[in-house]
């Protein structure tokens, strides 16, 4: 790139490279939205609220025009990488295409505007969407009943564990402990803690699966249940799952499945057949509702018949008269985990996705997701260590151990991938793989995109050999270079101040 | 399938690279009895026009033309078109949680702006990057206060949104915490005398809402002084954050949280919404959820990262401050865009309109014989009327005229069976409010007791009498 002539001191590159905070763009007197004329007499705040309660100006609040808002956020958006930008092989996150029609139907007048306390008779359309979504998810999992109330996967976990507890308490004793493999996502133990259980971690075996003898030792009558991700965070299916379920059930415990990785199984296997009693799904992973830069998610919970009474209240029901209604008459329910009917707009999008695919499309989707992951695994296995070489499904996990010898770690390779135009894979997770590189291409990657990714990884491995500094200082092409996270945490600056 | 980018020849070539004969081989390690031998029983596949038609029908069956005076934690406000226009940028809505900060500066800076806006609005020092919704924000607020106090006692005003209280109970049911609900008085406010006698029993975390579920502003200065006097902490959930453009932030609160749906997020049958949580600086390390912080890159330029991660579940696992993983980033972005558009003046003007509309509606309704304002406390854009014996009948008559006249409070409070909760935001047109008042007059002037019995909706069992 040609060197810019040295600019006068106050000048700097314009447009996307520098964008101040919205507060710094503010100038008194500007406004970016106007209101319809008031058609009732104006009210005096001092009179109606009491002078002592009336607030003055909100200090520091922005004042900008509509155009400046559009430019500001458009510029910010260009600093982001999304699924729309390119391959986003973030393991365990299932970054797949978010169909545009989902966004359109979720914004339809009526769908987007109905109030959650509208009487059921006036909400039949929205209730039908919820009912149909739950029915489809029940079929996909093979389970008997589904609640769409949990707002995200972690809340689904909490809901499920609370239901296990309520059921066991009904049987006489809630018990003390939940077993969780060491490969599990961090939300699992955190959700268990809120449910009043202790966590006992189980070591994985050499195949990357749950160790049956370890489970046999740990599974006592003090144990309420086992929380298992299937396929696990290595992308490996627990082939002993039936035996695992039997071991847990034999001692009176329940089997919880974290369905975060359901993209590997839709149309291929139903968790009900594994012996799962309760599970959650992530609509924002498997069912294409957008991740939105970190939410909103949605974490429906699916259960076998005997747990249905414990599902959060209300549940959408279908009456004999053909009308849908919210059923609050649920004496054994664990209660509410979120207001209203959960993230309804996410159910709309998930249903649109299921309808677009049908059974055949969903199965093809699963097959492509597994094919893509295995293709990447096959073509990278000569470059990176594969600590667990059991067959894997929708993702594969390498280790940086060979590159670490040169001082280059998984996080460095990830940063260098950014220079090649890819979003990195998941780094340093699962915890059982030191220097983990967790790759989940999903079905939304073309072969050309995968080949380009594989070439980039090869090229980076070569760079590690020839010029490790290049990798260690990456990324080089982004608007900002590596950011000092330690400084951010030591002296937190969490807001703008005038 | 139109979403899939692989063609049959590529699938075959990829399998060949792997030395596989068929895709089935990749699933063969799943024990055969566990594999599904039939196609799933699902509707579809549908073309795009069929999908649009399917949801148009659902929309038509969701009374899109009705005028609604419902609020109760979900408020209809006009959403400037720029909000959805910007949210529809794929770089925003198809991105993940911003772990890779160098290619997520857009989300990170926007969240930093959101945190600043929430701190400014609430008058607090710091705010997080959002939580699921108001109910979970209130719950996380109380969990946070319990951690700070190492406390075991929670006092909850029964004027707090009943669903928030339900969620709080769900989360606290196995925490060994004592929850005491406090009654409200004729002003629709927390009964101070009861609070005073409760706090003498030792430090407690109080959850109050202001404006509260009835739309009434709580006397936060007195409440806070009382709780602090007993070395307790005050968590305030704000029912309608737009009120903060006109009303002083809750005086004396240690944690201010609530639902920010009013700021550019569609009502959408209850979600997705966006909870916020703000607090005094000294409590920041006990905060739940994502937090964005400012830092520098290797060349000294300003940038933003997720920070204070040692509070969070992926590091701390069962010892984390919360099990929350996602925030409601896109909804928080909507709020950031919305508040930027309205700005200092626009938001205040909007709040003044809300105040004017609600007070107009309240005045006109209260002038109808047989109607009174239920509570004497000050309110912002929502209020409660009392219509002895006639609530169901009124709602039914309004519904015939395509008006949803408010929320019957008996759904949640058995003692408030004559009460309707009514919200009037800037979207409430005078003509519709006048129409509502006329229907009230018609119904209430025809004073036939027999008709009173014909209310159609049966009482729900959701009353939170626990």
DSSP string, B61-111: TT-TT-EE---TT-------HHHHHHHT-HHHHT---S-SGGGBHHHHHHH
* Dist CA A480 CA A477 (whole Å): 8
B400 lies within 8 A of chain A by CB: no
Question: Inter-chain contact B15–A371, Cβ cutoff 8 Å?
Answer: yes
Which DSSP string do the residues of B358-404 spell out, in sequence order? HHHHHHHHHTSTT-EES--S-BSSEEEEE-TTTHHHHHHHHHHTTEE
Residue A206: CB atoms within 10 A of its CB come to 9
Q: How many Cβ pairs closer than 8 A exist between chain A and B?
A: 704
- Rounded Cα distance between B462 and B466, Å, is 11
Q: Same structural domain for residues B356 and B330?
A: no
In a domain, B333, yes or no: yes
In CATH terms, A363-485 corresponds, of 3.90.1150.10, 3.40.50.300, 2.40.420.20, 3.20.20.100, to 3.90.1150.10
pLDDT at residue B322 in the model:
84
Residue B458 included in any domain: no
Q: Give the whole-angstrom CA distance, residue A371 versus residue A373.
A: 6
Average pLDDT of adjacent 10-residue blocks, chain A of 498 residues? 54 72 97 97 97 94 98 96 97 97 97 97 98 98 98 96 98 97 90 93 94 96 97 96 98 97 98 98 97 96 98 96 96 97 97 98 98 98 96 97 96 97 95 96 98 98 97 95 95 95
CATH of the domain at B448: 3.90.1150.10
- Average pLDDT value over all residues in chain B: 94
Q: Return d(Cα A386, Cα A393) in angstroms, integer.
A: 14
Tell me which residue of B135, B425, B107 sits closest to B290, measured CA to CA: B107
Contacts of B303 in chain A (CB under 8 A): 480, 483
In-domain check, residue B4: no
Task: State the CB neighbour count (10 A cutoff) for residue B209.
Answer: 30
Domain closes at, from B290, B315, B338:
B338
Q: What is the DSSP string of A116-127?
A: TTS-GGG-HHHH
Lowest average pLDDT, out of A10-24, B122-136, B351-365, goes to A10-24
Residue matched to tokens 């949680």: B97
Task: Evaluate the CA torsion angle A265, A271, A276, A282 in order and state its sign.
Answer: positive
Taking CB atoms and an 8 Å cutoff, what residues of chain A touch B6? Answer: 368, 371-372, 443, 446-447
Alpha-carbon distance of A488 to A498, in angstroms, equals: 19
Query: Secondary structure of chain A: what % helix, strand, coil (to 5)?
Result: 40, 10, 50
For residue B293, what is the nearest residue in chain A, using CA coordinates? A494
CA distances from B327 to A291, A293, B143 (A): 10, 9, 17
Q: Is the peptide bond before A98 cis (omega within 30 degrees of 0)?
A: no
Classify the C-alpha dihedral B241-B245-B247-B253 as positive or negative. positive
Task: Please name the member of A118, A312, A378 whose beta carbon is closest to the beta carbon of B63.
Answer: A118
Residues B362 and B327 in one domain: no
Residues 116-135 of B with CB under 8 A from A: 116-117, 119-121, 125-127, 129-130, 132-135
Closest residue in B to A354 (Cα) is: B44
The tally of domains found in chain B comes to 2
Tokens of A72: 């500001």
Q: Which of B15, B27, B240, B269 to mutate to test the interface with A (most CBs of A within 10 A)?
A: B269
If asked whether residues B305 and B405 sit together in one domain, one would say no
In Å, what is the CA distance from A426 to each residue of A52, A245, A250, A463?
A: 53, 30, 37, 21
Chain A residues with CB inside 8 Å of B62's CB?
Answer: 110-111, 114, 118, 122-126
Q: Which of residues 215-244 of B touch A (CB under 8 A)?
A: 217, 244
Measured CA distances, B63 to A125, A327, B269 (Å): 9, 20, 12
Tokens of A388: 């667990």
B30 occurs within a structural domain: no
pLDDT of residue B118: 98
Residue to test with chain B: of A19, A37, A61, A199, most B Cβ within 10 A: A61
CATH number of the domain to which B151 belongs: 3.40.640.10
Length of chain A, please? 498
Task: Decide if A495 and B11 are in contact by the 8 Å CB cutoff.
Answer: no
Place B459 in a pLDDT band, splitting at 50, 70 and 90. very low
Residue B125 lies in a domain: yes
Q: What is the pLDDT of residue B453?
A: 47
Domain containing B374 equals 67-76+344-452
Token representation of residue A445:
């990657």
Inter-chain contact A495–B127, Cβ cutoff 8 Å?
yes
In angstroms, what separates the C-alpha of A251 from chain B's closest C-alpha? Answer: 23
- Mutation site, B40, B362, B391, interface A, largest A CB count within 10 A: B40
CATH code at A101-355 = 3.40.640.10
Indicate whether B290 belongs to any domain: yes
DSSP A202: E
In Å, what is the CA distance from A320 to each residue of A125, A276, B405?
Answer: 17, 30, 28
Residue A122 with chain B: CB contacts under 8 Å: 62-63, 66, 399, 404
Report the length, in residues, of chain B: 466
Residues B87 and B153 in one domain: yes
Looking at B301, B323, B338, the residue that finishes a domain is B338
Within this chain, do residues B252 and B110 fall inside the same structural domain, yes or no? yes
How many Å apart are CA A285 and CA B97, to the nearest integer?
13
Omega prior to A475 cis, within 30 of 0? yes
Q: How far apart are CA A461 and CA A97, in angstroms?
A: 29
Number of helices (H) and strands (E), helices first, in chain B?
Answer: 14, 15
Count of other CB atoms within 10 angstroms of residue A101: 20
- Largest pairwise CA distance in chain A: 79
Provide the edge-to-edge strand list for the sheet that holds A177-181: A145-147, A301-303, A278-281, A254-259, A223-229, A177-181, A198-202
pLDDT band at B202 (very low <50, low <70, confident <90, very high): confident
Q: Grade residue B460 by pLDDT with cuts at 50, 70 and 90.
A: very low
Whether residue B464 lies within 8 A of chain A, CB to CB, comes out as no
* Contact flag A345-B315 (C-beta cutoff 8 Å): no
Q: How far is A479 from chain B (nearest CA, A)?
A: 7
Do the Cβ atoms of A354 and B44 come within 8 Å? yes
Angle at B70 between CA B162 and CA B403, to 5 degrees: 145
Contact of B177 with chain A, judged by CB distance below 8 Å, is answered with no
Measure in Å the smallest separation between the Cα of B262 and chain A Cα atoms: 13
Test A274 with B66 for CB contact under 8 angstroms: no
Of the residues B338, B362, B379, the one at which a domain ends: B338
Q: What is the secondary structure of B154-193 as a DSSP string?
A: EEEETTS-HHHHHHHHHHHTTTT-EEEEE-B-TTSSB-HH
Calculate the CA A246 to chain-centre distance. 30
For testing the chain A interface, which of B15, B23, B58, B273 should be mutated: the one with the most A CBs within 10 Å? B58
Find residues 242-271 of chain B whose CB sits inside 8 Å of chain A: 244-249, 259, 266-271
What value does the mean pLDDT take over residues B397-413? Answer: 97
pLDDT at A16: 62
Q: Are residues B306 and B353 in the same domain?
A: no
Same domain for B377 and B318: no
CATH 3.40.640.10 residue window(s) in chain A: 101-355
Q: What is the mean pLDDT of residues B236-257?
A: 96
On the question of pLDDT at B449 being above 80, the answer is no
Strands A396-399 and A324-327: unpaired
């Amino acid at each position: 790139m040609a060197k810019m002539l040295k600019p006068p001191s106050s000048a700097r590159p314009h447009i996307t490279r520098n964008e101040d905070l919205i507060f710094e763009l503010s100038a008194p007197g500007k406004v970016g939205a106007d209101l319809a004329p008031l058609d009732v007499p104006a009210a005096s705040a001092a009179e109606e609220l009491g002078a002592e309660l009336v607030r003055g100006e909100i200090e520091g609040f922005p004042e900008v025009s509509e155009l400046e808002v559009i430019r500001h956020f458009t510029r910010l958006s260009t600093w982001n990488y999304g699924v729309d930008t390119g391959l986003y092989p973030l393991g365990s996150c299932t970054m797949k295409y978010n169909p545009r029609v989902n966004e359109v139907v979720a914004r339809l007048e009526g769908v987007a505007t109905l109030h959650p306390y509208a009487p059921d008779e006036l909400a039949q359309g929205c209730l039908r969407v919820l009912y149909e979504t739950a029915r489809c998810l029940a079929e996909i999992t093979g389970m008997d009943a589904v609640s769409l109330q949990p707002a995200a996967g972690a809340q689904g976990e909490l809901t499920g564990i609370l239901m296990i507890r309520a059921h066991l308490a009904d049987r006489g004793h809630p018990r003390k402990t939940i077993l969780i493999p060491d490969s599990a996502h961090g939300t699992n133990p955190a959700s268990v803690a809120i449910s009043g259980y202790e966590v006992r971690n189980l070591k994985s075996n050499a195949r990357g699966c749950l160790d049956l003898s370890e489970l046999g030792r740990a599974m006592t009558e003090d144990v309420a249940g086992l929380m298992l991700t299937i396929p696990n965070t290595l992308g490996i299916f627990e082939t002993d799952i039936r035996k695992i379920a039997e071991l847990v059930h034999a001692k009176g415990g329940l089997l919880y499945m974290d369905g975060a990785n359901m993209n590997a199984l839709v149309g291929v296997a139903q968790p009900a057949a594994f012996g799962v009693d309760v599970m959650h799904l992530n609509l924002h992973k498997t069912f294409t509702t957008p991740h939105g830069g970190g939410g909103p998610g949605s974490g429906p919970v699916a259960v076998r018949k005997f747990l249905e009474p414990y599902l959060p209240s209300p549940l959408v029901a279908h009456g004999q008269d053909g009308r849908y209604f919210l059923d609050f008459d649920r004496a054994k329910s664990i209660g509410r985990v979120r207001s209203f009917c959960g993230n309804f707009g996410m159910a709309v999008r998930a249903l649109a996705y299921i309808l677009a695919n049908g059974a055949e499309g969903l199965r093809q989707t699963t097959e492509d997701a597994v094919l893509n992951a295995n293709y990447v695994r096959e073509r990278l296995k000569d470059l990176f260590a594969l600590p667990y070489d059991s067959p894997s499904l929708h993702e594969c996990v390498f280790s940086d151990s060979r590159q670490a010898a040169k001082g280059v770690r998984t996080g460095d390779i990830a940063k260098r991938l950014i220079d090649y135009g890819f979003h990195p894979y998941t780094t340093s997770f699962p915890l059982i793989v030191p220097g983990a590189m967790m790759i989940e291409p999903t079905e939304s990657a073309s072969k050309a995109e995968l080949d380009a990714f594989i070439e980039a990884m090869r090229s980076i491995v070569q760079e590690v050999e020839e010029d490790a500094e290049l990798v260690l200082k990456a990324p080089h092409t982004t608007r900002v270079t590596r950011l000092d996270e330690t400084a951010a945490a030591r002296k937190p600056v969490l807001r703008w101040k005038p | 399938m139109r979403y899939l980018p692989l063609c049959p020849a590529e699938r075959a070539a990829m399998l060949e690279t792997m030395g596989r004969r068929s895709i089935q081989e990749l699933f063969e390690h799943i024990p055969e009895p566990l594999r599904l031998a039939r196609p799933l029983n699902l509707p579809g596949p549908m073309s795009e026009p069929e999908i649009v038609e399917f949801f148009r029908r659902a929309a038509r069956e969701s009374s899109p033309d009705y005028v609604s005076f419902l609020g109760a934690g979900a408020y209809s406000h006009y959403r400037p078109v720029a909000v959805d226009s910007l949210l529809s940028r794929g770089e925003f809505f198809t991105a993940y949680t911003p772990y890779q900060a160098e290619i997520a500066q857009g989300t990170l800076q926007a969240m930093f702006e959101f945190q600043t806006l929430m701190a400014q609005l609430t008058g607090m020092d710091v705010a997080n990057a959002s939580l699921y919704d108001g109910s979970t924000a209130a719950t996380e607020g109380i969990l946070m206060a319990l951690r700070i106090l190492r406390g075991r006692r929670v006092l909850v005003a029964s004027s707090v949104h009943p669903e928030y209280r339900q969620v709080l109970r769900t989360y606290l049911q196995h925490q060994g915490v004592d929850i005491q609900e406090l009654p409200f008085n004729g002003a629709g406010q927390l009964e101070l005398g009861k609070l005073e006698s409760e706090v003498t029993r030792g430090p407690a975390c109080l959850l109050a809402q202001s404006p509260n579920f009835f739309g009434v502003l709580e006397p936060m200065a007195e409440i806070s002084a009382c709780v602090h006097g007993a070395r307790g902490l005050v968590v305030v959930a704000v029912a309608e954050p737009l009120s903060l453009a006109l009303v002083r932030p809750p005086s004396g609160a240690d944690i201010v949280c609530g639902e920010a749906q009013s700021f550019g997020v569609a009502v959408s049958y209850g979600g997705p919404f966006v909870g916020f949580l703000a607090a005094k600086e000294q409590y920041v390390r006990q905060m739940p959820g994502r937090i964005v912080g400012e830092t520098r890159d290797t060349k000294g330029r300003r940038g933003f990262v997720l920070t204070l991660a040692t509070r969070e579940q992926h590091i701390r696992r069962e010892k984390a401050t919360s099990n929350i993983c996602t925030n409601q980033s896109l909804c928080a972005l909507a709020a950031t865009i919305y508040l930027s558009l309205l700005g200092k003046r626009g938001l205040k003007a909007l709040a003044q309109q809300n105040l004017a509309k609600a007070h107009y509606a309240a005045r006109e309704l209260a002038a109808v014989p047989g109607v009174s304002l239920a509570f004497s406390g000050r309110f912002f854009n929502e209020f409660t009327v009392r219509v002895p014996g006639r609530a169901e009948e009124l709602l039914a008559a309004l519904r015939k005229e395509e008006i949803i006249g408010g929320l019957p409070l008996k759904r949640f409070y058995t003692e408030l069976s004559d009460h309707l909760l009514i919200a009037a935001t800037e979207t409430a047109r005078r003509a519709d409010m006048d129409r509502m008042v006329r229907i009230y007059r018609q119904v209430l002037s025809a004073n036939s007791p027999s008709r009173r019995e014909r209310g159609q909706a049966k009482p729900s069992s959701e009353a939170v009498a626990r």
